Structure 1
């Protein structure tokens, strides 16, 4: 019998070959070149050799999706839901294997990877039921002998581009409802999480999807953008979904606008966590620790700035500093707060953000900053730091609205701490950066929590909980720099992957003209109520 650790070691040197998949079959060749997806916790260990597609591959995948979509849309929604149900069961049966692969490829702690895979299962379970609830409406007409109806219809072909920090959970938020609603999908996973993307796709295929309903294009980001532009120009794509940076999301929004389309954009965040004077400080520290440093701060919902009332500022800072110093960091197959940076790209970018720390800031939370090495060690490190892309957790105290660090999303293990005196200052600090994804407030006062809810710009708010965390039946998404108001998850995502169709059915036997042939009320009708 293998332990989890033994199983991981037995898989360490097994490299997959991953390619794009169109019409259910892998594409031969590598018109976009090749790359190696490596384990960020064990540098040099190749997880997958990836054969990349080019822009033409993306366009061809969209053609294959369009060809398959009409047939899939003709399948009754409850039957499509049975396919989703089977996918969920397959994911459940392969939960541990898929979680281990996620940990190997992006360095997420194994416990978090298990939670990520569970999110796919929850999403499938929820949308299995939605297959019988794609309701329209019966609407009263202003005319006699006439009925009005609304129906949900599929949008057509959805092009989905996702990031690699949640390489299987977030894609499922798009893929499951899009497919359930009768659409066909072209999905571009993150190239640095190609193996996890391929594994998820194969579970979908084995769930019984007809060929062409899901097509996977393994390619680099700029190539996907080029392919998307060509596909939109040819009228092959009806909906675009994107999870990633605000900068790229803005470009995708501009591109879709040329074709009168509204994409589903889930972008970055600079998520605030407000600590009020009456907060339970230990609970707020626990929430800040998970919000700021879970997944090495590489979540769109990661804590950006803790905004702490002056009366508890010193106490919070002291306890937060101690909690971060004591937290184990390192090997993601062990019980740690976080593991490595996802890839070299994110590691280098994070080191650049450390340059935003100014002379007026106080740096806490660690014995060093930057990459953890034998020469730049960290206490409570688990494993050998030289094996992976590990970075010190960093608390930056004394952050103000004038600091570049305050207004910029920093994708990594760094948390700012700011001080406020009045509720108005807290709200201004929570909103002033222009992001609007997630926020949290710690308070025992229902009045303060509700006041904050009314004024926060974020699309998601937690009270006495972390800025991170999502459930499959609650809307997920943001405003401002964090998105365009679209939402994933729950029944709300149905608005992204269906369109409303209105039907009026006149059985009067004559032409009735709306607003012109409406029966008039008798002029002498008395509407006064009798006393």
Structure 2
């Protein structure tokens, strides 16, 4: 939808259910580079009028969107489950995240504060204001097809920007429903929020052309570190800084002071929720050598007992989201070396490679065994690189110094966790871990709408989403000085000085 109207695409495709591959969820028409440029032109035209609407009124639009999402929570969650195979309980939580984001930002329309700053000169006042950046291109992944887009789109709309959104190719039904709820629930004028379905090369070409034409003022991107580098480089060539939320190799340290059962529960959800297809999914468990065997036994037992299968049932994990992720996951499994200790079956779940207690029909979808690999070390691909899928590495450490070094070694910096009941360990870890987010006695996954979300290193460029911090991504600071003296006053040159005695010293003896 561009400027409130559907656009013709250059090719058509089906979106299928990854847990029932013969079920078509939606038919989608993919555009090309010119489609994205046309959307950018529409958004660029609409932006001045949208920015002219008072911010508190834009806040009421965000409130309307939140209530519309709330009314359609179950319906939207069902689409997410059907299209990407996310368990329904998780999908409900994802939709709730949109509601929470709207609830937070509806009030920010009345709190886009600037400052009144004292001047160094008489009869002069200084002010600062937040101004919208302009037109924002948002490119998001499909593992959180509705929650993550809201992190960009809600604050961008609130602050007076217009949007061109390119969602993931494999979640068009969820993104179309999201777009319709936002436009109708918020009463958004045509051109304010446009959606374009396109593949990666077409998107990059359209983005480049739009930047060359001065139609795009900000890029928000969620996806892999490799693509993030390309998007960041493109933005940099146009003197822009993209908002990049990229991959992770999120460590979880378990100390001798940890509650091991709680740590197992956290590792199970962090490693295998959404079938390990989150940017915040657990990468490596770094467990103290004194409790390594005990933890591993408990972890393996919990994983073996966890229900896996049909995402409409109560399961730990469903299928891989799309065939391309299944293929990549099989490549990650090929990284397992002879020195590694694989704790369970590997590969696709089939009649010849079954999983006990599987829920549903494994032959119907892209279902894979969750895998725990013990004995990984720096230098191993499984330790060093993001493995997007249900694969968790385990290694051991001697002291906290070594644990923190291991946690930082891969060079990502998104999320992290430590399980301990020792406050000194918790604060030492938080102080020295490179991640933008850390949890104590909780999972590596999970975000709240009023906390900053984002990473460093391979995980991002330091930009943050959510909370008040994201406002700096979608607004520019403007300073204003107002001189009402009736004469030209030159800063740093015409400043009045007080008469001071430079030779004065206090004579203590005379007192």
Say whether the fold is shared (TM-score over 0.5).
yes
**Alignment partner, residue 335 of structure 1:** 314
Q: Write the distance in 1 (CA, Å) between the matches of 2:17 and 2:436.
A: 34
The answer as to 2:2 corresponding to 1:25 is no
Aligned pairs (5 A) from 1:56-455: 56-207=34-185, 208-364=187-343, 366=344, 368-455=345-432
Cα separation, partners in 2 of 1:431 and 1:527, compared to 1, 3 Å: farther
> Residue 206 of structure 1: SS of its match in structure 2?
helix
Q: Within 2, Cα distance between the matches of 1:70 and 1:175?
A: 17
Give a deviation string over 1:503-525, Cα, whole Å, max 9, x none.
00111111111000111120328
CA deviations 1:67-122 (Å, max 9, x no partner) are 00000000000000101100000000000000000000000000000000000000
SS at match of 1:150: strand
C-alpha distance in structure 1 between counterparts of 2:336 and 2:397, whole Å: 20
Residue in 2 that maps onto 1:12: none
Instruction: Specify the alignment match of 2:457 in structure 1.
Output: 480
Task: Give 5+ residue unaligned stretches, structure 2.
Answer: none
> C-alpha distance in 2, partners of 1:528/1:237?
63
- TM-score, normalised with respect to structure 2: 0.98
1:142 to partner: Cα distance: 0.8
Q: RMSD in angstroms over aligned alpha carbons?
A: 1.2
Aligned residue pairs, count: 507
Structure 2 Cα separation of the partners of residues 378 and 262 of structure 1: 47
**Separation in structure 2 between the aligned mates of residue 483 and residue 505 of structure 1, nearest angstrom:** 39
Q: Distance in 2 between matches of 1:420 and 1:244?
A: 31
* Mapped partners of 2:117, 2:284: distance in 1: 48
**Partners of 1:418 and 1:486 in 2: CA distance:** 31
- Summarize deviations over 1:155-180 as a string: whole Å, max 9, x none: 00000000000000000000000000
Runs of 4+ in 1 over 6 A off after TM superposition: 525-531
Q: 1:47 aligned to 2:25?
A: yes
Residue aligning to 1:8: none
Aligned to 2:21, the other structure's residue is in SS state coil
Taking the aligned partners of 2:141 and 2:381, their CA distance within structure 1 comes to: 25
Distance 1:125 1:154 in 2: 21
Q: Does 1:521 align with 2:498?
A: yes
CA distance in 1, matches of 2:445, 2:311: 19
Partner of 2:467: 490
| Cα separation, 2, equivalents of 1:496 and 1:56 | 26
The SS at the match of 1:44 is strand
Cα distance in 2, alignment partners of residues 137 and 527 from structure 1:
39
Deviation at 1:44, TM superposition (A): 1.5
For structure 1, list consecutive stretches of 5 or more residues without a partner in the other structure: 1-20
Distance in 2, Cα, partners of 1:221 & 1:82: 35
What SS class does the counterpart of residue 307 from structure 1 fall into? strand
Q: Residue 355 and residue 132 in structure 1: after superposition, are their counterparts in 2 closer, same or farther (change >3 A)? A: same
What is the match of residue 5 of structure 1? none
CA distance in 2, matches of 1:135, 1:380: 56
Q: Report deviation, 1:276.
A: 0.8
Q: Report the secondary structure of 2:416's partner residue.
A: strand
Superimposed CA distance per residue, residues 5-43 of structure 1 (whole angstroms, 9 cap, x where no aligned partner): xxxxxxxxxxxxxxxx0011111x222x11111000001
CA distance 1:200–1:528, change in 2 (3 Å): farther
| 1:233-273 Cα shifts (integer Å, max 9, x gaps) | 11100000000000000000111111100000000000000
Does 2:488 correspond to 1:508? no
Cα offset for 1:528? 7.1
Instruction: Give the match's secondary structure for 2:190.
Output: coil
State the TM-score, normalizing by the size of structure 1.
Answer: 0.94
- Helix, strand or coil at the partner of 1:524: coil
> What SS class does the counterpart of residue 395 from structure 1 fall into?
strand
